[in-house]
Homo-oligomer: A and B are copies of this chain.
Amino acid sequence: MSTFGTLFRVTTYGESHCASVGAIIDGCPPGLALSAADVQVQLSRRRPGQSNLTTPRDEKDLVQLQSGIEHGVTLGTPIGLFVKNEDQRPHDYSETDMYPRPSHADYTYLQKYGVKASSGGGRSSARETIGRVAAGAIAEKYLRQAYGIEIVAFVSSVGKVRIPSSVASQNGDEDNDDAEDILSLEYAKLLKTVTRQDVDANPTRCPHAETSERMIERIVRAKDANDSIGGTVTCVIRNVPSGLGEPVFDKFEAKLGHAMLSIPATKAFEIGSGFRGTEVPGSRHNDAFVRKANGTLGTATNWSGGVQGGITNGEDIYFRIGFKSPATISQAQSTAQYDGTPGSLAARGRHDPCVVPRAVPIVESMAALVVMDELLLQHSRKTSAALLPAITTLPPTMVLPREAEKSA
């Protein structure tokens, strides 16, 4: 349905041409300093018209907070918010409406509901993500204040143009799995240090300047061809405490994958070593434990991507999402009408030739929602267990000594 989360819950509404799109965020901790500006910053990174790589539509997408906040402080009650749709007219009927757009949601929405919005695929519209981004911005502020958590996503590839060594080969020769590392040291360092400033320095939202230039060329080439091109977004989450993730069905990576694959146009998700981790033998893939400089336990490598057994281990969490090439293109396509009549369809309006730059804040927001919800769940468990008498009857390796506790 339109609700995500167990304790930090987001419910969104709205499609392209209705009065507004919005959300209710339930379960925000009370006492958080929060203003519209905190939310607007990510909405503005998401909005169209930011560069000539995206759709020229220029929407301001100004958020209006409705409830749950007084004197700039959250009350712990639901936060209602919305953004007005500037174009609220239902779509005018035209001959192109006889065609379900290929690889779009027109056909499936009609099959599902028996009725559909005049503008097509209803809630599959990218405008629906406004509610998510607003909710994610609120979660992020809490995570930053309470734990210093940093969430940074960036464009790691456009078509076949990608940041060097960001994805290890899945095509090496069989007898030589060991010849290359899963991630290059240089790329590992990028994950460790990349900031939103770095990301926004380039219109592609790729922090690697040289690659960004080639990505721009690739996008312009698609645009000039009245075509489109896909890409991948990589995201890193730093300073997450250990212990997050709810066995067994709500493992951290399962909920994260769920969140990411609910973003329009996504087709793939991998965490840590991902598909590459299927090729490297266990002896090399295992992350050995080491004592960290601060005395706590950590891992020497991080092919696990910060999650082991579905639970965070305190290392950086990183993952990659594949966005298909946009279905809406200006060139004519041979296809069929709803009744099966063959014909040719050319898209109306103007659209993004490549969506990944604008997907960056959406990925960050969905990541924030997952971390927040899992954190609130773990807070309950830790507090509840801490109220019990100390366990004295178990072998020592079955019990965590208080001084070794790093989890939320």
Contacts and interface: CB of A to CB of B under 8 A. Distances in A.
A207 interface: no
A289 B256 CA distance: 33
A397 interface: yes
Given A267-B277, A285-B103, A285-B325, A247 B3 contact: no
Interface string A380-408: 11111101110101110111100011110
B247 A2 contact: yes
Contacts of A222: 281-282
B278 A323 contact: yes
A234 interface: no
Contacts of A267: 253, 270-275, 277-278, 305
A208 to B, nearest CB: 15
A379 B383 contact: yes
Interface in A1-26: 1-4, 6-7, 9, 11-15, 17-22, 24, 26
A32 B388 CA distance: 7
Interface stretch (A48-56, A104-112, A193-201): A104-112
B281 A72 contact: no
Nearest to A116: B398
B283 A333 contact: yes
Contact of A229 (B258, B266, B282, B339): B282
A261 interface: yes
Given A2-B78, A111-B407, 4 more contacts: A109-B311, A124-B309, A289-B337, A376-B384
B313 A108 contact: yes
A183 to B, nearest CB: 13
A361 interface: no
Interface in A257-294: 257-262, 264, 266-275, 277-283, 285-291
A349 interface: no
A299 B103 CA distance: 9
A79 B286 CA distance: 31
A364 interface: no
A209 interface: no
27 contacts: A1-B27, A7-B377, A18-B66, A31-B391, A76-B385, A93-B395, A102-B289, A103-B285, A107-B289, A113-B381, A114-B385, A124-B309, A145-B388, A147-B387, A160-B172, A160-B173, A228-B281, A230-B279, A230-B285, A231-B278, A261-B269, A268-B271, A268-B278, A282-B328, A283-B331, A285-B325, A296-B340
